[in-house]
């Protein structure tokens, strides 16, 4: 390995300084640019999907909320569609300010890869999508199957783990784009498509004959999906983190985009603090004092963005399940605004 090492060291010298020093803080740069650079998926209905030149989805709404928090205007965003393989490097190198692209929170991404997950927008788990014709009822019957999977994902690793623990033979085909996986499943190049369950439902809608495919009951992993920022800028990290918490708290307190103005008259001190009527909790973030109210008004609370994009108000019709509020049997829980 030694000659190679020397060689590569030399090559590194030739590389331009990747991620050249960022001048000032992320927030300063964003304010100077006048927009937030947000990395989203390259096409996943419900999460981020471009339709008629407009991005829609729960991941997109998280970015919109951050823009509303910073600028008071949810449209001040530049979206960058990224494949699973590109996304983390794009964030590390400063090409985007925040990555909101159904990305799983893991220890190595938090540590070795120099990233910070700001919370969980969607509690997910990995599943399998198969053609009904195969007559498969359980993932345990997949011995010897050819599986399509997206390159550079946690899914790819879980897949290998699952087949290894169950002593099954695996033939994986890894594509950069989820569309290619879906096309391959339809053509029969692979027997199974594996991904986070939410994505499987989204992918299924895009198939020519969605009814011919089923999602197997097994969920083989924990996939907490959430927005990500770079290590090393705590102020920016706090803003993105609390934008999500604000939306969850708003749902818990019954504040939504329609009633936010009325709620400002509420006597509940929690609501008053959230909406910036009482105290200066908003200012502590270096933003306008009422930024939380603006986020709720312009984008909505967590329940609203969930239902609108992936829940009952969308073609996906996904149940709240794990993503219900903590006091309704789910896992969504936000620290208090205080």
Partner 1 sequence: MAEHAPAPVKPPFWNDPWIRAILFQAIALVVTIAFGLYIFDNTQANLRRLGIASGFDFLSSPSGFDIIQSLIPYSATSSYGRVFWVALLNTLLVSALGIVLATLLGFVIGIARLSKNWLISRLALVYIETFRNIPLLLQIFFWYFAVLRAMPAPRQSLNLGDMVFLNIRGLYLPAPEFQTGFGWVLAAFGITVVLTVLLARWARRRQRATGRQFPIFSIALALLLGLPLLTFWLAGSPLVWQIPELQGFNFRGGWVIIPEMASLLLALTIYTATFIAEIVRAGIQAVSHGQTEASLSLGLTSSLTLRLIILPQALRVIIPPLTNQYLNLTKNSSLAAAIGYPDLVSAFAGTVLNQTGQAIECIAITMAVYLTISLLISLMMNWYNRRVALVER
C-alpha dist (Å) from residue 121 to 79, 146, 281, 305: 18, 31, 23, 10
Q: Which of 63, 84, 318, 325 binds partner 1 (CB under 8 A)?
A: 84
162-170, 209-217, 263-271, 306-314 -> range binding partner 1 (CB under 8 A): 162-170
Question: Backbone phi, then psi, for 127, in 5-degree steps?
Answer: -135, -175
Return the number of the residue (164 or 258) whose C-beta is nearest partner 1: 164
For the chain, how long is the longest CA-to-CA vector? 71
Measured from the CB of residue 13, what is the shortest distance to partner 1 in angstroms? 4
CB 120 within 8 A of CB 226: yes
Q: Shortest distance, CB of residue 118 to partner 1, whole angstroms?
A: 15
- Binding of partner 1 at residue 279 (CB under 8 A)? no
Q: Does 183 bind partner 1 (CB under 8 A)?
A: yes
Identify the residue whose tokens are 């339809």.
Answer: 186
Residue range at the interface with partner 1 (CB under 8 A); choices 146-154, 194-202, 203-211, 263-271: 146-154
Q: How far is the CB of 92 from partner 1 (least distance, A)?
A: 6
Cβ 197 to partner 1, closest distance in Å?
20
61/191 with CB nearer partner 1: 191
Does residue 230 interact with partner 1 by CB under 8 A? yes
SS3 letters for 6-57?
HHHHHHHHHCCCCCCCCCCCHHHHHHHHCCEEEEEECCECCCEEEECCEEEC
In whole angstroms, give the CA distance from residue 46 to residue 167. Answer: 35
24 binds partner 1 (CB under 8 A): no
Q: Does 208 bind partner 1 (CB under 8 A)?
A: no
* Cα→Cα distances 60→5, 57, 81, 134, Å: 42, 5, 11, 36
Residue 23 touching partner 1 (CB under 8 A): no
Q: Confirm or reject binding of residue 12 to partner 1 (CB under 8 A).
A: yes
Rounded to an integer, what is the distance from CA 54 to the centroid of its chain? 18
DSSP 193: E
In this chain, which of 170, 202, 247, 310 binds partner 1, going by CB under 8 A? 170
d(CA 309, CA 331): 19
Q: What string marks each residue from 91 to 120 as x (binds partner 1 by CB under 8 A) or -?
A: -xx--------------xx-xxxxx-----
Residue 21 binds partner 1, judged by CB under 8 A: yes
Asked whether 220 and 157 are in contact (CB, 8 A), the reply is no
Closest CA to 298 of 228, 235, 250: 250
> Nearest Cα to 89, choosing from 75, 103, 107?
103
CB of 36 to partner 1, least distance (A): 19
Closer residue to partner 1, CB minimum distance, 1 or 262: 1
Query: From the list 31, 78, 85, 272, which residue makes contact with partner 1 (rule: CB under 8 A)?
Result: 85
Q: Which of residues 41-80 bind partner 1 (CB under 8 A)?
A: none
E strand or H helix at 196: strand 192-196
Residue 172 as a binder of partner 1 (CB under 8 A): the answer is: yes
Does residue 174 belong to the site contacting partner 1 (CB under 8 A)? yes
Please report how close the Cβ of residue 213 comes to partner 1 at its closest, in angstroms. 15
Burial class (CB in 10 A: 0-12, 13-18, 19+), 284: exposed
Summarize as ranges the residues that interact with partner 1 (CB under 8 A).
Answer: 1, 4-5, 7-9, 11-21, 84-85, 88-89, 92-93, 108-109, 111-115, 134, 142-146, 151-153, 156-157, 159-161, 163-164, 169-176, 180, 183, 187-189, 191, 230-232
């Amino acid at each position: 390995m030694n000659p190679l090492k020397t060689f590569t060291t030399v090559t590194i010298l030739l590389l331009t300084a990747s991620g050249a020093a960022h001048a000032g803080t992320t927030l300063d740069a964003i304010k100077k640019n006048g927009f937030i650079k947000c990395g989203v998926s390259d096409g996943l209905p419900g999460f981020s999907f471009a339709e008629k030149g407009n991005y829609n989805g729960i991941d997109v709404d998280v970015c919109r909320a951050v823009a509303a928090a910073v600028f008071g205007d949810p449209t001040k965003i530049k979206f960058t569609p990224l494949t699973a393989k590109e996304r983390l490097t794009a964030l590390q190198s400063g090409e985007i300010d925040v990555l909101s692209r159904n990305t799983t929170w893991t220890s190595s991404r938090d540590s070795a890869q120099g990233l910070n997950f700001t919370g969980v927008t969607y509690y997910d788990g990995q599943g399998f999508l198969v053609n009904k014709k195969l007559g498969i009822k359980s993932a345990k019957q997949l011995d010897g199957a050819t599986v399509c999977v997206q390159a550079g994902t946690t899914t790819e690793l879980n897949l290998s783990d699952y087949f290894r623990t169950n002593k099954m033979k695996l033939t994986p085909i890894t594509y950069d784009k989820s569309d290619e996986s879906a096309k391959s499943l339809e053509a029969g190049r692979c027997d199974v498509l594996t991904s986070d369950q939410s994505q499987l439902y989204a992918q299924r809608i895009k198939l020519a004959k969605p009814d011919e495919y089923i999602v197997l009951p097994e969920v083989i992993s924990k996939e907490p999906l959430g927005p990500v920022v770079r290590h090393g800028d705590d102020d920016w990290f706090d803003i993105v983190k609390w934008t999500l918490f604000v939306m969850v708290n708003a749902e818990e307190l019954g504040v939504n985009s329609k009633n936010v103005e009325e709620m400002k008259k509420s006597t509940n001190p929690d609501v008053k603090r959230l909406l910036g009527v009482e105290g200066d909790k908003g200012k502590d973030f270096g933003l306008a004092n009422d930024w939380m109210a603006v986020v709720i008004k312009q984008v909505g609370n967590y329940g609203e963005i969930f239902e609108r994009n992936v829940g009952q108000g969308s073609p996906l019709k996904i149940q709240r399940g794990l993503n219900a509020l903590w006091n309704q049997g789910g896992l969504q829980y936000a620290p208090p605004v205080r």
